[in-house]
Structure 1
Amino acid sequence: MQITRRAALGTAIAVPTLATPALAQGWQPTRPLRLVVTYPPGGVNDIVGRIIAEPMSRELGHPVVVENRAGAGGNIGTVAVAQAEADGYTILFGTTAMFGVNPILYANSGVDAVRDFTSLGTIGEVANILSVVPDRVRATNIQEFVAEAKSRPLVYGSVGNGSSSHLSATVFLRMAGIEATHVPYRGSSPLVAALLAKEVDFGFDTTATSTAQIRAGAIRPLAVTTTRRASALPDVPTMIEAGLPGFDLGVWFNLAVAKRTPAPIVARLTEALEKSRDALTAQRLGTAFVEPLIVPREQNQSFVAQSAARWQEIARQANLRID
């Protein structure tokens, strides 16, 4: 994925659902807004949601209050936002999973994020890291790891069936021509605990939740799933650098509202998000081991749709099932 960091302020709007700047000035909130994070408090989604809510509050002149609506891999909260009144006061904190995997896992939920939401813009991106347990795996790079995996059975953990962690592993195993037994856990914390307890040989987890343990030497990183190295772990190569051409599975975050939201409201919220993605926000994201990701306004909808389509195809190939 080609990452664009330049600010989108002043860029002409090329998305039909958005209004002109003049119309954008016609709507201003008069009360607090809700930002629905569809995962529990304390995880990377919650952290990034709260980071962006603060400057959004300043830009809009009213509090943007984070509301955690967890369950069903984020689908419960997604459905709730889709069904809420489309008046701009309920915003979805979106993730790759909601747009790219959940429509496959929850085909009968009545909601499809690409179809039913308008993306206001991206916020940041994290890589998943292939990390191994030093006492269980000898390999120190991808080539050694593939050779070791071909010589004996290995077990890997993920943060759950259908997660980006799980799908990153399935793509890696297929491209590397190896097999391993999958043990799904219910979130990053249980997976990291399993790695530390030496219950599995390796796992894929995000930079946001693995970096501290990697820096402490408790787990050994072999490669990241994005096309650029993680700034928090600059010595860890990408999968492409490690010999797997085309491997690009970053996990991004965005804000979105229901598709039926009036265009002037969408434009005003988009403008507020753009102004919120400043240097201080980038610094705070970096502290959480999240890379800032700014897709220009005119490319935003196509970026989301193309990324979602790619993840959906991976999910189909993996023959996913709900836990």
Structure 2
Amino acid sequence: MALTYRIRALCLAFAGLCCAPGVHAEDTRYPAKPIKLVVPYAPGGPTDLVGRSLAAALARQLGQPVVVENKAGAGGVIGASSVVNAAPDGYTLLLGLQGPITINPALTKVPYDPFRDLIAVRMIATSPMILMASKKSGIGTLGDISTRAKAGSAGLNIGSSGTGTLPHVAAELIKHETGANLVHVPYKGAGPALIDLHAGHIDLLFSDLQVGLPYVQSGQATALAVTSSQRSSMLPNVPTLAESGLGKVKLAGWYGIFAPRGTPAAILSALDRAVDGVFRDTAFKQTLENQGSTPSALGGAKFVEFLRAEYGQWSRLGQSITIKMD
């Protein structure tokens, strides 16, 4: 265990020193003031819930407040850009995920290079998604989506938490593989999309399991499938996409902590140690469990390797199907 930690610390130190102007003595007092954690989506959605739970756990480890700042828009790119342009002093961090880190950079032009301009500190958790249908749509199974298309009926509206997000790419994949006439409706976060799903303004929606589950359990939406490799214990009667012959790419979500390029190695190491403590935080672990997420401590070079592999997956997907990033 000690050897593994030292290797991870060295990887973080190398990442920081590649870009940092130097590590100063004052860095050892980090943190000396509150830290801002940028959540690149609107309040009320899955990313926001994970961000606030993480912020509270980090605050307990670091002894300073960690304040969540929601900066939604452009599939998470606006929030990520604000962190890229922030001072690399450890006081502005990003809760990153597929949209701004691997999907948008792979499929369209963004004002930063996630591998050059951000330092991947640690992965925090993974989370499956759930495909839901509005009760007003009359859709009860995945097969109903294809039936609608074959019957030549009007197209279906499928929402997402924003253009270039994982739910958006998942929607385009379903459209491609079922042949259904699906019209993408992007929102600034999952919260507003869920409200419109319940109201019947959209027919379908991919959402993280932890956020969509209450809508299913209360009868406000119908669960059609989960994106995990196995059925969820929370929804044992709901099939996986794979069971339905769909989901040839990995569609499970993940969350991670990122820092601006140039963040000193001493600060990166302090954050790394704090995240170790977060995974021992009973309240944080319980929050993830309640939300259907699984803790994941992937860090250092292995985290970067994971990100590059996923970036490649989305690049290849973009070459095989049409994904409108407008």
* TM-score between the two structures when normalised by the length of structure 1: 0.83
Change (3 A) 1:136 1:64: closer
Richer in helix (by share): 2
Map of 2:190 onto structure 1: 188
Distance 1:82 1:46 in 2: 19
For structure 2, which runs of at least 5 residues remain unmatched after alignment? Answer: 16-22
1:10 aligned counterpart, secondary structure: helix
Question: How far 1:144 sits from its partner (Å)?
Answer: 5.4
Task: Decide whether the 8 Å contact of 2:120 with 2:300 is kept in 1.
Answer: no
Map of 1:18 onto structure 2: 13
How many residues are treated as equivalent by the alignment?
Answer: 311
Percent identity between matched residues is: 28
Distance 1:231 1:102 in 2: 31
Distance 1:248 1:96 in 2: 11
Task: Decide whether the 8 Å contact of 2:88 with 2:263 is kept in 1.
Answer: yes
Change (3 A) 1:209 1:302: same
2:276 aligned counterpart, secondary structure: helix
Question: How far 1:242 sits from its partner (Å)?
Answer: 2.5
Matches within 5 A, 1:212-251: 212-244=214-246, 246-251=248-253
Distance 2:202 2:44 in 1: 24
Change (3 A) 1:135 1:55: closer
Map of 1:306 onto structure 2: 309
| 1:318 maps to which of 308, 315, 322 | 322
Map of 2:151 onto structure 1: 151
Map of 2:265 onto structure 1: 263
Task: Decide whether the 8 Å contact of 2:197 with 2:203 is kept in 1.
Answer: yes
Distance 2:295 2:277 in 1: 14
Question: How far 1:241 sits from its partner (Å)?
Answer: 2.4
1:42 aligned counterpart, secondary structure: coil
Change (3 A) 1:19 1:103: closer
Matches within 5 A, 1:28-177: 28-29=29-30, 30-104=32-106, 107-109=109-111, 111-140=112-141, 142-143=142-143, 145-153=145-153, 154-159=155-160, 160-176=162-178
Q: Which amino acid aligns with 2:310?
A: S
Task: Decide whether the 8 Å contact of 2:146 with 2:180 is kept in 1.
Answer: no
Q: Which amino acid aligns with 2:54?
A: I
Question: How far 1:302 sits from its partner (Å)?
Answer: 0.9
Distance 1:241 1:168 in 2: 16
Question: How far 1:139 sits from its partner (Å)?
Answer: 4.0
Task: Decide whether the 8 Å contact of 1:230 with 1:291 is kept in 2.
Answer: no
Question: How far 1:52 sits from its partner (Å)?
Answer: 0.9
Map of 1:3 onto structure 2: none
Change (3 A) 1:128 1:222: same
Task: Decide whether the 8 Å contact of 2:76 with 2:165 is kept in 1.
Answer: no
Distance 1:138 1:321 in 2: 27
Map of 2:20 onto structure 1: none
Instruction: Choose 226-235 or 8-17, whichever is displaced more.
Output: 8-17
How well do the aligned residues superpose, as a CA RMSD in angstroms?
3.1
Distance 1:41 1:199 in 2: 20
Change (3 A) 1:145 1:108: closer
1:257-310 Cα offsets, whole Å, 9 max, x none, are 123222222122112112212243121123334333332555212112222332
Question: How far 1:214 sits from its partner (Å)?
Answer: 0.7
* TM-score between the two structures when normalised by the length of structure 2: 0.82
Distance 1:228 1:103 in 2: 29
For structure 1, which runs of at least 5 residues remain unmatched after alignment? Answer: 1-5
Question: How far 1:254 sits from its partner (Å)?
Answer: 0.6
Distance 1:289 1:51 in 2: 14
Q: Which amino acid aligns with 2:313?
A: R
